Amino acid sequence: MAGNTVVKGLVGLYYFRVDNPQVQALVQDCKTDVYFNVSSLLFPLIGHAFNVWYLDPLGAALLSLYVIYDWAHTSVTTINRLTGTAVSTPTAKKLMYLAWRFSPVIDSYKSMTAYYLGDGIIVEVEITLDEKTPLPLAHDISQTIQYCFEG
């Protein structure tokens, strides 16, 4: 059990910074296993050492509640992303910042809509350019903004 805890802990730490929902689910599973294994060892030992017979079942109940809460939160987040909810305010601000970087060549921004589509984000930005802007330049500006959003 200790070996499993060490391996899961190392895997979780190694992949912690990978920004991918599937990898983050693996990291969450590793974290849950580490908490569960460490607690499964400590609750009975402490209960036996201090002669508190109910510490082991209490620990099991608390761990079960934690696992239910943790994975329920993950499920709700995943369902929201799969059903196309709007992006969070910090993400929307980042997207708007990316768009505003082009303000010298863009006259104004009329609207921006961003929502999740699975693991990705769909962004729609309505911009206005000077009416004398040549079509190839307008195309290049819109393509550059698109590449920035995709990145």
By the 10 Å C-beta count (0-12 exposed, 13-18 middle, 19+ buried), 30 is classed as buried
CA dist 137 and 86 (Å) reads 31
Give me the pLDDT at residue 145, please.
87
CB contact at 8 A, 43 and 55: yes
Average pLDDT over residues 4-29: 91
CB 88 within 8 A of CB 73: no
Structure-model confidence comparison of residues 4 and 151, the more confident one: 4
What is residue 141's predicted lDDT score, i.e. its pLDDT? Answer: 87
List beta partners, residue 130.
Answer: none
Spatial separation of the C-alpha atoms in residues 121 and 110, rounded to whole Å: 20
What integer is the mean pLDDT of 68-74?
92
**pLDDT of res. 133:** 87
At 104-120, the pLDDT tens digits run: 888 888 889 999 888 78
Per-residue confidence at 96, pLDDT binned at 50, 70, 90?
confident
Burial of 34 (0-12, 13-18, 19+ CB in 10 A): buried
Quote the DSSP letter at residue 133.
S
Distance, CA of 109 to CA of 98 (rounded, Å): 12
pLDDT (tens digit per residue) in 123-150: 998 888 888 889 998 899 888 888 888 8
User: Which pLDDT score is estimated for 82?
Assistant: 86
Helix (H) or strand (E) holding 94: helix 89-100
CATH superfamily of 89-150: Cation efflux protein, cytoplasmic domain (3.30.70.1350)
Banded pLDDT at 21 (limits 50, 70, 90)? confident
Residue 46 has pLDDT above 90, yes or no: yes
